[in-house]
Amino acid sequence: MARIVGMDVLDVRFPTSRELDGSDAMNPDPDYSAAYVVLRTDDGPDGYGLAFTIGRGNEVQAAGIHALEHLVVGRSIPDTAAELAALSAALVGDSQLRWLGPEKGVAHMAIGAVVNAAWDLAARRAGRPLWSFLAEMSPEEIVGLVDFRYLTDALTETEALDILRAAEPGRAERAAHLRAAGYRAYSTSAGWLGYSDEKLVRLAKQAVADGFDMIKLKVGASIEDDVRRMRLAREAVGDEIRIAVDANQRWDVGPAVEWMRALAPYDPYWIEEPTSPDDVLGHRAVADAVRPIRVATGEHVANRVIFKQLLQAGAIDVLQLDAARVGGVNENVAILLLAAKFGVPVCPHAGGVGLCELVRHLSMFDYVAVSGTDEDRAIEWVDHLHEHFTDPAVVRGGRYLAPTEPGFSARIRDESLARYAFPDGPEWRNGLL
Ligand SMILES: [Mg+2]
């Protein structure tokens, strides 16, 4: 029987702060980083996963992944839905590590990296891109992936099965549509807070010329600056293009409402992360005050339980799951099912390093096998760092192309791993710190 015989964990950091790429109101100088995991096998391909961080502390994230080694190395390779569910349950259920969460933060993100690497491995061995590997599973297999503990007051196994069975007709047509036409993207590349007005206007116009019908601006540092930047962006793209804004948790409820009232004349499509990602009732208060502007959040939502509460409370209009924040594919399947139950569209968080590569698989799975629709849905697109991946995300005409290579697309090129290794890779050793 083929086994996982080793687990490598690498600290890889890209010096994105030098150009203020990725700068926002809470994160002025990010160095996009990956705590990167390789599951080594004794037969066939290896599996690849990552946790995304923004620089300092990436070594802590890597240590969190190392702490899971005893649960992974020596295990037979999980190939089936049931085996992948068992691996996820074993990682989430380690009682000593659970104390560090439970199911949140560094420890949980470490589980996500390993679970995603196991899914990458299984999909590679099946010769399928992850989205279609998942979307070809039966409703019973998919429900079996999910840990329903803490969910059943909002979503039962029976309801999840009903959702998946309702989406079974048309799976093949939707998969064919994805292969032909891809999945809608929106662009964040224009709107980083550290960019000049001139760069903002130029990149906003470029996004529309490239086929995007939605862009996003970072806000939250200065209300006067944000009103000016929003006005410039609206003038640059016209009335037909959606402009979302993202405060990256900068505000209390009061300032969030005040800010959005100031921006409202320029028709913002959603306000993302207006306040603390843990503050379910705060999101609800903002939503009540600013609708019809939508409230969106998710990239820092720790687990399926907080998503459940956000949905139960009617606190979000758009759910932004993240491939590398929660406990991996299994928990994201739960979150997609919750969103479908509550009829809230999922527009995943992406960008960073590797997040576009990963999350496109989850949206495409959702379209084929869960929600069965792409209405009011789009995946974030940030055009940075894709060249470091062996199966990079590709967007053409404002749409993500459907991945065709086997796996979950987290594999980083060997030469990039060597060059950006922290702190000893040449990119960091050569006096550029
Ligand atoms: Mg965001």
| CATH pick for 164-413 out of 1.20.59.20, 3.20.20.120, 3.30.930.10, 3.90.1150.200 | 3.20.20.120
CA of 214 to the centre of ligand 1 (A): 14
pLDDT class of 430 with cuts at 50, 70, 90: confident
- Mean local confidence (pLDDT), 263-272: 98
CA of 246 to the centre of ligand 1 (A): 6
pLDDT for 189 equals: 86
Count Cα neighbours of 39 within 13 Å in the Cβ-side half-sphere: 35
| CA torsion, ordered 313, 315, 318, 324, to nearest 10 deg | -80
Place of tokens 């993500």: 400
pLDDT for 1 equals: 86
Residue 16 φ/ψ region, left for φ over 0, alpha for ψ in the -120 to 50 degree band, beta for the rest = alpha
Q: What is the pLDDT of residues 358-373, one digit of tens each?
A: 999 999 999 999 999 9
Q: What is the pLDDT of residues 24-61, one digit of tens each?
A: 777 778 899 999 999 999 999 999 999 999 999 999 99
CA of 412 to the centre of ligand 1 (A): 23
Q: What percent of the chain has pLDDT over 70?
A: 99
Q: What is the pLDDT of residues 377-386, one digit of tens each?
A: 999 999 999 9
CA of 89 to the centre of ligand 1 (A): 29
CA of 62 to the centre of ligand 1 (A): 23
Which one from 104, 216, 283, 349 is the annotated catalytic residue? Answer: 349
pLDDT for 232 equals: 97
pLDDT exceeds cutoff 90 at 94: yes
pLDDT exceeds cutoff 70 at 165: yes
Query: 289 Cβ partners below 8 Å, 6+ apart?
Result: 257, 260
- The domain limits of the chain are 4-144+416-429, 164-413
Q: What is the pLDDT of residues 9-29, one digit of tens each?
A: 999 999 988 877 777 777 778
- Mean local confidence (pLDDT), 168-187: 98
CA of 217 to the centre of ligand 1 (A): 10
| CA torsion, ordered 114, 115, 118, 124, to nearest 10 deg | -110
Cα 91-304-269 angle, rounded to 5 deg: 140
How far apart (Å, rounded) are the C-alpha atoms in residues 131 and 140?
17
pLDDT for 25 equals: 76
How far apart (Å, rounded) are the C-alpha atoms in residues 259 and 222?
9
pLDDT for 23 equals: 75
pLDDT exceeds cutoff 90 at 112: yes
How far apart (Å, rounded) are the C-alpha atoms in residues 166 and 371?
9
pLDDT for 431 equals: 57
**Backbone dihedral angles phi then psi of residue 9, each to the nearest 5 degrees:** -125, 125
pLDDT class of 202 with cuts at 50, 70, 90: very high
pLDDT class of 432 with cuts at 50, 70, 90: low
How far apart (Å, rounded) are the C-alpha atoms in residues 220 and 193?
9
In the predicted model, what is the mean pLDDT of the chain? Answer: 96
Q: What is the pLDDT of residues 211-264, one digit of tens each?
A: 999 999 999 999 999 999 999 999 999 999 999 999 999 999 999 999 999 999
- Mean local confidence (pLDDT), 298-317: 98
How far apart (Å, rounded) are the C-alpha atoms in residues 132 and 319?
22
CA of 299 to the centre of ligand 1 (A): 7
The reply to whether 349 belongs to the active site is: yes
pLDDT for 201 equals: 97
Q: Please tell me the CATH code under which domain 4-144+416-429 is placed.
A: 3.30.390.10
pLDDT for 397 equals: 97
> Contact at 8 Å (CB) between 259 and 223?
yes
| CA torsion, ordered 323, 132, 151, 352, to nearest 10 deg | 10
Q: What is the pLDDT of residues 310-335, one digit of tens each?
A: 999 999 999 999 999 999 999 999 99
pLDDT for 123 equals: 98
Which one from 104, 216, 218, 361 is the annotated catalytic residue? Answer: 218
Q: What percent of the chain has pLDDT over 90?
A: 94
